[in-house]
Amino acid sequence: MAFTLSSPAFKQGDPIPKKFTCEGTDVSPALKWSGAPAGTKSFALIVDDPDAPVGTWVHWVLFNIPGETTSLPEGLATTGEFPDGSKQGTNDFKRLGYGGPCPPPGPAHRYFFKLYALDQPLDLPTGATKAKVLDAITGHILGQGELLGKYKR
């Protein structure tokens, strides 16, 4: 069975609803996944936009999601650490948690939600950046699920 990532808010390749952007309430969409590889001890989530004018823009970094987890609720709090041990990283808006799509006017941008299944939790502090998380997961990725959404203003 393939490791799949999806959202009840939008389908693969479809537009992300305004609610989840800077033009709406800017809350994170609900996510769900299935088929994680055996031995998964934690997950790390990175959401970014490779079409941003300044280069890839990071919208969300979340790591140490427990390995038995199969979903995230809509509107996840932007606090640093959760009771289950999950930790928020710093996005390119220079804040913790989710920052929704907010592209300049023009063609649609692509937003990649990448969920990594890992063989261990990460020894990183709250507020770690995408670069720190990617460095820490090297050699520990058991599988990856990806969801693509688009948004334009």
In which order are the strands placed within the sheet that holds 71-72? 4-6, 31-34, 71-72
CA 153 – CA 142 distance, rounded (Å): 36
Mean pLDDT of the chain: 97
Q: How many domains does the chain have?
A: 1
Amino acid at 71: S
Query: Is residue 131's pLDDT more than 80?
Result: yes
Give the span between the Cα atoms of 98 and 49, in whole angstroms: 13
In this structure, are residues 65 and 121 in contact, taking their beta carbons and an 8 Å threshold? no
Q: Which residues on adjacent β-strands are paired with residue 46?
A: 61, 114
What mean pLDDT is predicted for residues 51-55? 95
Whole-model pTM: value is 0.97
Instruction: Quickly list DSSP for 25-77.
Output: T-PPPPEEEE-PPTT--EEEEEEEETTSTTS-EEEEEEEEEETT--EE-TT--
pLDDT at 2: 72
The C-alpha atoms of residue 121 and residue 145 are separated, in whole angstroms, by 18
pLDDT confidence of residue 13: 97
Residue type, 130: K
Tokens standing for 54? Answer: 């300044």
- What 8-state DSSP symbol labels residue 135? H
Q: Which range marks the domain in which residue 42 is found?
A: 4-151
Share of the chain above pLDDT 70, in %: 99
Helix (H), strand (E) at residue 116? strand 109-118
Percent with pLDDT over 90 in the chain = 98
Name the residue with tokens 């999601």: 65
Query: What is the pLDDT at residue 1?
Result: 53
pLDDT tier for residue 110 given thresholds of 50, 70 and 90:
very high
123: confidence class by pLDDT, cuts 50, 70, 90? very high
The average pLDDT across 35-59 equals 97
Indicate whether 15 pLDDT > 90.
Answer: yes
Residue-wise pLDDT for 32-45, tens only, equals 999 999 999 999 99
CATH number of 130's domain: 3.90.280.10
Q: Is a pLDDT exceeding 60 seen at residue 70?
A: yes
